[in-house]
Amino acid sequence: MGVVFGWTVRGLRRTYRYLFENRDFRSESEPSKVGAEQGPAALAPEADAEQGFGALHPQANAPSNEDRFEDIWLHVQRDLTEFQNIAHTITPNIHLHYKLRQAVSAPGVNRSQTLTRLIDRIPLGARHMIALPLLGTAGGSEKVSLNLIRALRAHYQEREVLVFAPDAIFNLSERDYSRYQVPIVSINEIDAELSVEDRVDLFDRILIESQLKTVHTVNSDIAWLAFVDRAKHYRQDTELFGSAYSDIRVDTMPVGAFWRYVPQTIDHLSGIIVDNGSVVRKAADHFNLAASQREKFHILHTPIEPIAHQHEGGGKGALIARSLWLSRIALEKRIDVLAEIARRSPQREFVMYGSAIKGAFPVDLSWIDDLNNVKLRGEFERLQDIPFEEFDSFVFTTSAEGLPIVLLEMAMIGLPIIAPDVGGIGELINDSTGWLVSSPDAIDEYVEALEAIRNNPGEVAKRTRAARNFVLQRHSWENFTRSVRVIPNYIQCAEQALEKVRP
């Protein structure tokens, strides 16, 4: 299925590229002849080897790429509708339209010069690459990356661990690189305007040229896309790993690594790293995995450093009807549910911390102006900057998760937690450690839980202590590093390489 799907998408991509560059879509005459008259040569890989999706043949007074895209979108919708029951990630809805429209104006690039400059920045002797889209943000994925970097530094020599950032959304300033204590190389340092296809090709060349022992993508779409097409070749010299945290959907459309990449690459990966058992079970069910494929999943419980109590459940906070909401501003975070909870609880104040990630689908926040009991404080730099003593509860809304780090942090701080039974959340939150609501849309249960927290300070204190003790025991740094060490073929330092060849 994965191979057929890959061929299908590549064939469609080349067909639409030919249409995009050669047809005048102001005329809709004889659309069925496109491709059929041209024959296979028009769709051959050689025909587009050096052109990005948005590259146009020079034409006087030609319409803009965006205008051409709007014309071709009708053809995309028609064709992909035939496939949507096979692969929902290509359902021709507003989200696919948004992503494709972003891609069509990407310029061409001199790949050889860009590649040379990137290779020059990669240290000689680099053995282990972590490919990631972001650093320097407050998101859970970035915290996972920091933990991995820290753990790997303990096993490798200086400059053997490399962070590579191939994605367009990477925006960490070079002056901040040094605080991560490993070399960081970003494609955006060379050219921030590159297309997705150019970035995938550059990533491919870097893996070939660098001869790394381990490459691990932590949410880097560029690295994943290269794995989809070329993992069977990389695996001959390199151990390949990917992270997948949840079976995320946006408006019922499957998105993220779990759906887009895991089923197409699992046979060529050495391992898939997750943070909860739920995602392993769901992968086995959704993709009908064989036993050998299930064995490739490895659970790393995210470590949380002990945090001094900033809030005592049942103490001062119980006198304050004010709830904290803290997360990324994203569609899957179900801020619409928070809005309805606030409408049902006019006597309670809700304070939101968080911001949107560049390139994410836009989220409607206009409703905040209509509710006097909701305040948006926006982005924050450090967890310590949030005045937890002002809140009596933490309300978490979402429709797709692994095991959110923010819940582990709130448990350590001592805030009573209300969260839905989504992904791995049930591994932490239950009737002993917090208030678990049955589904993302269980608004009545959220409201009832808020009332219970306000009226039962003794129960609040009991559950917050239990949650903190659970996190202290299972999510320690020692447990995390032990789990990293035992992942087969993940750490490929020189000492381990010698052990393999010793008699």
Domain boundary residue, one of 43, 78, 103? 103
Give yes or no: residues 259 and 334 share one domain. no
Give yes or no: residues 225 and 86 share one domain. no
Other beta carbons within 10 angstroms of residue 270's beta carbon come to 19
311: in domain: no
Range of 174's domain?
A: 111-303+479-501
Determine the pLDDT at residue 362: 80
- Tokens representing 444 are 């009545």
Give yes or no: residues 97 and 136 share one domain. no
Give yes or no: residues 167 and 282 share one domain. yes
Give yes or no: residues 359 and 406 share one domain. yes
310: in domain: no
Determine the pLDDT at residue 67: 74
Determine the pLDDT at residue 332: 86
Domain boundary residue, one of 103, 123, 139? 103
Give yes or no: residues 246 and 134 share one domain. yes
309: in domain: no
Give yes or no: residues 428 and 294 share one domain. no
Give yes or no: residues 320 and 294 share one domain. no
Determine the pLDDT at residue 252: 72
152: in domain: yes
Q: How many domains does the chain have?
A: 3
CATH number assigned to the domain comprising residue 225: 3.40.50.2000
Determine the pLDDT at residue 459: 95
466: in domain: yes
236: in domain: yes
Q: Contact 146/112 with Cβ under 8 angstroms?
A: no
Give yes or no: residues 63 and 160 share one domain. no
Determine the pLDDT at residue 305: 85
Alpha carbon 131 to chain centroid, angstroms: 12
Helical spans, DSSP H, in 154-234: 187-190, 196-210, 221-234
162: in domain: yes
Q: Contact 410/336 with Cβ under 8 angstroms?
A: no
Instruction: Please tell me the pTM assigned to this model.
Output: 0.73
Give yes or no: residues 187 and 255 share one domain. yes
Partners of residue 350 on adjacent β-strands: 323, 374
Give CA–CA dist 192/220, Å, rounded. 16
Give pairs for 48-51: CB < 8 Å, separation 24+: 48/14, 48/17, 50/108, 50/111, 51/17, 51/21, 51/108
Determine the pLDDT at residue 328: 85
CA distances to 246, 363, 457, 464 from 422, in Å: 9, 21, 26, 20
456: in domain: yes
Give yes or no: residues 287 and 382 share one domain. no
Domain boundary residue, one of 36, 69, 103? 103
Which residues of the chain fall below pLDDT 70?
A: 1-62, 78-110, 138-139, 250-251, 308-319, 358-359, 494-503
Give yes or no: residues 454 and 488 share one domain. no
